[in-house]
Amino acid sequence: MVEMCLSASAAEASVRPRLCTAQLSCVQQVLVRRACNPKGICSSGLIYCRDSDESSSPHQTTTISQGTATLHGLFIKTDAADSIPAVLAYQSRQPPPSGDRRRKERRDPGASARARTPRCCGIEVETQTSNTSIKQVSTTEVQIGPMRLMQDPIQVLLIFAKEDNQSDGFWWACDRAGYRCNIARTPESALECFLDKHQEIIVIDHRNSRYFDAEDICRSIRATKPSEHAVILAVVPCTSADQEQTSILPLLNAGFNRQFMENSSITACYNELVQIEHGEVRSQFKLRACNAVFTALDHCQEAIEITNEDHVIQYVNPAFEQMMGYHKGELIGRELTELPKSDKNCADLLDTINTFIKKGKEWQGVYYTRRKSGDSIQQHVKITPVIGQGGKIRHFVSLKRLHCANENNNQLYKSHHDEKYTGDNSQSESHSCRCKNRRKDSIDIKLITSQSSDAASLQTRRYSSMARIHSMTIEAPITKVINIINAAQENSPITVAEALDRVLEILRTTELYSPQLGTKDEDPHTSDLVGGLMTDGLRRLSGNEYVFSKNVNLSHSLLSVPNTINDVPPCVVQLLDNEESWDFNIFELEAVTSKRPLVYLGLKVFARFGVSEFLNCAEATLRAWLQVIEANYHSSNSYHNSTHAADVLHATAFFLRKERVKGSLDHLDEVAALIAATIHDVDHPGRTNSFLCNAGSELAVLYNDTAVLESHHTALAFQLTTKDRKCNIFKNIDRNHYRTLRQAIIDMVLATEMTKHFEHVNRFVNSINKPMASEETSSHNDSSDCERTANIKNSADNQTLIKRMMIKCADVANPCRPLELCIEWAGRISEEYFEQTEEEKRKGLPVVMPVFDRNTCSIPKSQISFIDYFITDMFDAWDAFAHLPVLMQHLANNYKYWKTLDELKCRSLRLPSENNY
């Protein structure tokens, strides 16, 4: 079949002895199709072509492996080649069509014997520098820093749908430059050829979109990983003198690096390719070599940190991450000034380091730094300035390793302070010797501060940026989060980047933990609860001079209280027998104690937890203290009275008996929690913080409209306690214990302020619930609860979160009480809000919670909103830690009760027909 085709071609040649280039190409395609189809290879007749390793021809080479024909350069060889070579030989012997296309005849007798199996990926032809043509050395030596690289001959891919003067110009330019060249005719073959050979230069015909879309081809190549090191050139048509030249931006956006105005001159094409080689290709070749450098750095055992001249971290290796406890994503892009510093370094050392590196000198020495966990570690540090463009310092490279003699750290630090790094090298040399024993490859660490003649001026020199690196405040966690997201955006798809932009908008707000309510069809009950409980209510009226004040009773009221706990009336004793049960009825205790249940319950609970023993105070002192605290609760308040305080105390004591809570807190924490519960609402006026701020009350002015009531409760409680030794329960404890206890009490009471409700809940979930859940999963139930909470107990921060969560849940536990108690508390808080609304209207103040109008309010709706918005998530989190199935069952039952009333359009506490209640 091939012979017939070749004979036909010869016959045609007798009529037209000279074939144009396009016709010759067509003949090649026909031959290829007919030779490949019997084997089922590429029905389109497009094959992948490679030159012979031994070929001396600078021309294009096509090889067919069926043993029937070999098209070599511009010559066709077959087993019966004698019948047809004259045609193509004649073509090859003709002068070049133009002066720029000087094709040379090169015969290779052994070409057919070296025929290879074709690969179907499109028409491609390849040229390689001949032994006789002008050529470069096979490899080029390239220097990058101390590295000596050997660059193989450049490979070029020409993508031209049709052969013409321009494609020939680049072809022969590659031959002159000694480049290896491939030609692709279709987008598919171009992509496959590039993925196979990874050419450094790609030339795409962008003159005519009739055959293919050059920009689409460019984008498809750019979508591959190897293309990041390729230079893509667009051949564009020439513009006339009166025609305005088009912008190159569309080409750049498509992925092209350069454009080439149509010019078929071999010299012009040669100059363009050589410029690209010595410019972009050489730069990309050096960049590829950097991968080896970074691989070495990543496997280096020394901790390495690279910053720019402004001390912004640009690289850290895994050894650095392991030593410092950070992930590289937390460090790269941040300034060193943002990282926590160790306070063990003297100021002179920082000044010395800065003096040396700013002068371009290398500094070596011993330095203290702080890990992410907060631990200070001692390191041998070597900081090397790297000089860059313009002779300026462009980077700092820090090599760090742990000090090998940690047992001598204290002595070393002392000697550093004594000597103040004035140049005593003997000490550092001894350090180096000890390090050599451990690691023979380690570099000797010597302090070289004495080498500078400027040492005398260090005391008066101002600290510059490096000196301030370890004196800045620790970065806020929210800033860390924002920085991580910003870094993630750089390499994210556009949809992900846009979503992260929205995340950043939310994170930059101040109300991070408060759910956002919709502006349409929102539940007015929820909206008013949020407005009343979670804002400062500063919606003042002009000229409002209303001031809320009351006379604080600092004296001891004459209450009928027992002399000792054994003198408690029998009826009270009987009620208190059930005090440890969650279903304990506080209202019955309120009734039998004439609205003074706090003293009686307090004596019982405090005795059970050994509060007097811990405080080293007499029972009489504790009794007097409970009496004066209860006297300053307002019995006239419907809700915020001493019964509520006793209820919170009861809930706190109940929580303290739960295993996980008990295993996580110390005795001091227990005492602090019980005292905080007792005093948490003392002298509450029965009005919200918003009311007091709007009214311009004395308390709001005193506490700057911030946590007004909570600040007042704690301040007054300590004032009442310390005013009289008879009731001063703290008078006999150690001062340090008192400070710790006082701080814990204040922190817990302030946690009951609702503006930070969601912050406290979210921190508890993220710091307690999630880590414990992960630990339980990994332990496969092999360890006990006590073992699993060991880490929590050892963390002061986590203990604080537990105490805050405990008192918050105790403060608003009403929806988790038995139904009858829940209904009673709901009625009391509603009554208090009704009274506030009425007073706001009467005094002309802004109405904080308009929904709590006595005539229109739906109590079931308000309870549903309160449970949905504040209670459910918080108690889910607390239950996950403390295990409170009884409470969660009550919560579900009560929520169902309120839902039923609401569905029946009932706005009161009970259905009208419920006479049995």
Rounded to an integer, what distance in angstroms lies between the CA atom of residue 25 and that of residue 46?
12
CA gap 134, 177 in Å, rounded: 7
User: What residue has token string 């979930």?
Assistant: 765
Q: Where are the beta strands (DSSP E) in 662-775?
A: none
How large is the angle between the packed helices 885-903 and 819-843, nearest 10 degrees?
Answer: 60
553 marked among binding-site residues:
no
Q: Is 299 annotated for ligand binding?
A: no
Cα(857)–Cα(868) distance, rounded to whole angstroms? 18
Under a CB-based contact definition with an 8 Å cutoff, are residues 124 and 184 in contact?
yes
Does the annotation place 229 within a ligand binding site? no
Residue 128: which region, alpha, beta or left (left: phi > 0; alpha: psi -120 to 50)?
A: beta
The string of DSSP letters for 834-881 reads: HHHHHHHHHHT---S-TT--TTT--HHHHHHHHIIIIIHHHHHHHHHH
Report the chain's C-alpha Rg in angstroms: 43
Cα separation of the two ends of the chain = 106
179: nearest Cα among 148, 204, 164, 157? 157
Query: Taking the mean position of all CA atoms in its chain, how far away is CA 218?
Result: 34
Q: Output the six-digit token pair for 735.
A: 């001062």
| Residues paired with 155 in a beta bridge | 180
Which H or E run contains 261?
A: strand 258-261
If phi over 0 gives left and psi between -120 and 50 gives alpha, with beta otherwise, what is residue 178? left
The reply to whether 644 sits in an annotated binding site is yes
CB 174 within 8 A of CB 203: no
226, 198 contact by CB (below 8 A)? yes
Give the total residue count for the chain.
Answer: 917
795 is in an annotated binding site: no
Q: 417 labelled as ligand-binding?
A: no
Whether 150 and 144 have beta carbons less than 8 Å apart is answered as no
CA dist 888 and 896 (Å) reads 12
Tokens linked to 500: 């992260």
CA 172 to chain centre: 53
Dihedral (Cα; 901, 905, 909, 911), 10-degree rounding? -80
Contact yes or no for 580/654 (Cβ under 8 A) = yes
Annotate 422-479 with three-state secondary structure.
Answer: CCCHHHHHHHHHHHHHHCCCCCCCCCCHHHCHHHHHCCCCCCCCHHHHHHCCCCCHHH
CA distance 840 to 831: 14
CA 729 → CA 372, 614, 738, 785, distances in Å? 41, 10, 10, 34
Q: Would you put residue 333 in left (φ > 0), alpha (ψ -120 to 50) or beta?
A: left
Q: Does the annotation list 800 as a binding residue?
A: no
CA 242 – CA 154 distance, rounded (Å):
38
Q: Give the burial string for 419-457 (b: 16+ CB within 10 Å, else e).
A: ebbeebeebbeebbeebeeeeeebeebebbbeebeebee
DSSP class of residue 184 equals E
List the one residue out of 387, 377, 378 whose CA is nearest residue 357.
387
Active-site residues, by number, are: 640
Residue with tokens 């006239």: 636
Angle at CA 72, nearest 5°, toward 69 and 76? 50
Query: 634 with 685: CB under 8 angstroms?
Result: yes
Residues at the annotated binding site?
A: 640-644, 680-681, 811, 863
Residues at the annotated binding site for AMP?
A: 640-644, 681, 811, 863
Residues at the annotated binding site for Zn(2+)?
A: 644, 680-681, 811
